[in-house]
Copies of this chain bind each other. A is one copy, B any other.
Amino acid sequence: MVNFSAPSASERRFMPPAVAVSSVAFALHPPVDANVADPRSGDVISTWGEYAGREGARVEHATTLWLPLVRRTRPPFDDLWALPGGPIPWDEDLYHTAARTLHESVLRSPGYLEQLFTFGATTRSATAQRLVTIAYWGLYGELDLAVDPTTEPSRDVASDVATAGKNAVTEFSEALVASADANIAWFSIDRLPELAFDHADIIDYAVWRLRQRTEYSMVAHRFLSEEFTLAQMRRVHEAILGEQIDPANFRRDVLAQGQLVDTGRVEEGTPHRPARLYRFKEQPEHV
């Protein structure tokens, strides 16, 4: 077999670049059993279930977005946080690699995933093999976060991946991190830790793109459950855009799009007039 490990300096320049995928996966809040970083100190403090219960935080009033990060356990950037991801197996499509590595870290599959940009500057990591990263951005909706955490990864190629990863890509450990790990935690995008590589730039760009998409398309509903009120949908837009929206105009505009269907049902248990529940029209599959 070809030997890729420990290339000498003179060999390195003839090696093709290593290719990996990294994902910025947004959610309105972490899964209940996930580790979270304290929005104030930045330290990983407890699971979201405990934290949210203690602080009285509610999805209803979500005002920021969260994303999962993985702590590196080897150089370079040892001990810093990085985006979930990993190398590309030789027989796996890019989209699928992004989805699979996210699942391996978060133990859940995102409801939406789209290619963001390919980062390949030679200055990204001066210490080792040239690294090209194809970045994806995705969304975890309420239903995605609720998926049973005991679910196994869907593909049966775990050994292939580990082998290819260990041999071909020396800088990436994300795919190799064990499940349900203290080295995986969720952070508010308003309070991110120091990040490995140029992952801070990748996250900035992903946030910008999410805002773009929110303004001229209908992706925001993917944060919500199957059925939702217009007020819930409006709060998602407000969290993404970071500003308040007029409820009446939001209603008029979003209904004029013709993408929402009135289920005929209404929410229950409110201390006031209950709102109608809507659902989204079926969409063609993404590419």
**Residues of A that sit less than 8 Å from B by CB:** 1-4, 7, 10-19, 87-94, 115, 117-118, 120-122, 130, 132, 134, 160, 163-164, 167-169
Contact = CB atoms under 8 A, between A and B. Distances in A.
| Nearest 6 CB-CB pairings of A with B | A94-B120, A16-B168, A118-B118, A13-B90, A90-B130, A118-B134
Contacts of A118: 94, 115, 118, 134
A120 B98 CA distance: 12
A99 B121 CA distance: 14
Given A94-B120, A120-B93, A132-B94, A11 B17 contact: no
Nearest to A96: B122
26 contacts: A1-B14, A2-B4, A2-B14, A4-B14, A4-B16, A12-B90, A13-B91, A13-B164, A14-B90, A14-B163, A14-B164, A16-B19, A16-B88, A16-B168, A17-B88, A19-B19, A88-B132, A91-B122, A92-B122, A93-B121, A94-B118, A94-B121, A115-B117, A115-B118, A120-B134, A132-B132
Contacts of A17: 16, 19, 88, 90
B13 A2 contact: no
Contacts of A19: 16-17, 19, 132
Looking at A13, A17, A169, which has the most chain B CB atoms within 10 Å of its CB?
A17
A121 B96 CA distance: 10
